[in-house]
Structure 1
Amino acid sequence: MTSFLDPVIAVVSAHPWLAYLTLFLAALLEAIPLAGALVPGSTIILALSALVPGGELKLWGVLAAAIAGALLGDGTAFWAGHRSQREILNAWPMSKYPGVMTQSETFFHRWGTLAVLFARFVPAIRAFVPVTAGALGMPPMLFFGVNIPAVLAWALAHVLPGVLAVSALHEYAGLPHHQHIGKHLWILAVFATAIITFGIWALRRRQARTGLRPGAGPT
């Protein structure tokens, strides 16, 4: 993996626009069935986020590219499932992964609405839950109401570790780095925690109000 990333990082370091495009495509492809199993999107995002402390890339640009790609990928997969319903679950490329599709459907039935949030952080089924949610009849407003906060939290969770680690390394080695990054990171870390906490609380409250169990899911 390192041999693959080294030339990528070398090229995008000199061309920021290419780095943002790479981040966007990595997040997009990782959210699409089949492509998500082949593209190491999370690794690419983590590696490129390490260029932020040195000033090669902007923190907000990295986050925006990752968020936009993930939202487009998840949204496309969901709408494909929503339009085709269950028959898409047995079509190519999903038919190539019957075990993963079964796992995705089981995960969705177990956690219901929360599956859309949790799946963002489970690489094995991340690319399959949105299409499954659409195919099983989850309302679009409900899906995007959960998916958007989930993507925001996912992007922060993937970008912040790389930025924090390299910022600490720069500090330790006395290398130049952006002094305002630390302040921004704390704000973003609190924001990410708040998104996840509020999302889980709101969904749990909705399930309690409607009498749904976590695994009931939509019908």
Structure 2
Amino acid sequence: MTVTRDDITGLLLAGGRGMRMGGADKGLQTLHGEPLALHVMRRLAPQAASLLISANRHRERYAELGAPFHATVIADTLPDFPGPLAGLLAGLRAASTPFVLSAPCDTPSLPADLAERLASALDAHKSNIATVTTRDADGNLSIHPVFALVRTSLADDLEGFLQAGERKVRTWYARHTAVEVAFPDERTFYNINSLQELADFERR
């Protein structure tokens, strides 16, 4: 099948503890006067038929931010903030499309063609998962596994993986046919992990 926008639910991952931001809710920190999550939603929403927001705190605030995009806020089904795969699992369960496109809430410059490029590679390689790689100016490879296009039919397998105590995203991907897609500009995947990084990004 050819994956189109109508086949994709966008999933904003905003359910973490924000430990490197002193426990602050990362998606609600402001960039140019607006929450980081809002910047990401503006880029993610046009690439998908619908939008979900994975949030475990301040859910009413996320619902307000997502209202212009008709986004639905969902929470982890597993306790104790077990990481991005728990948010992905909640998204796979909640989506009404065959695919979920996930992106973290701290990457305000994500590419406008993220879904298109991942879907094309997933089609070409007949894969179940497509994710992102970039190279820096020195040619060093970086993998960005939280940006991914994932078949919703993998939900049961992911739940079993997490219930077994596993947490690593790439370890779960390795259980399935996954393709890594090279993107030309690593800056579009820059993620803001601290308040200092946020201030530096805003100045730039």
TM-score by length of 1: 0.28
Q: Answer 1 or 2: which has greater helix percent.
A: 1
In terms of Rg, which structure is larger? 1
Q: Answer 1 or 2: which has greater strand percent.
A: 2
TM-score by length of 2: 0.30
